[in-house]
Amino acid sequence: MRIGRYESSDSSNLGTAITFLLIGLGAGALAGLLLAPKTGKQMRRDLQKGFEDAKDKVGDWADDAKDRVRDVASRGVELADDLREKVEPLRRAINRS
């Protein structure tokens, strides 16, 4: 499609949409900072507390995951030992024949 001296294409429409999206995100972030009910010091303190809480939760989750992996590994060892005991007589019989 030709508009004046310029040709319109789908890729330029996409580029324009992305440009306006980024402008809108920037304007929204700026408005949020200007209209925020907390001071910068309070906001930093809250962010730091939230980060520490999240770090603690991730640490707890990692500890739980480690415990579960250890449990599964020990069950796997027990299962392998049980199978070895059950298969041993069969192995002996095969070796004799």
Note down the domain range covering 6: 1-35
Q: Residue 7 above 60 pLDDT? A: no
- Per-residue pLDDT tens over the stretch 10-28: 556 788 888 999 999 999 9
pLDDT score of 87: 92
- Domain identity same for 23 and 65: no
- Domain identity same for 52 and 96: yes
- Domain identity same for 29 and 64: no
Q: Which residues contact 7 (CB under 8 A, 6 or more apart)?
A: 1
- Per-residue pLDDT tens over the stretch 45-95: 887 998 999 999 999 999 999 999 999 999 999 999 999 999 998 888 898
Q: How far is CA 58 from CA 7, 50, 51, 54, in A?
A: 53, 12, 10, 6
Q: Residue 36 above 70 pLDDT? A: yes
- Domain identity same for 66 and 49: yes
- Domain identity same for 43 and 86: yes
In total, how many domains does the chain have? 2
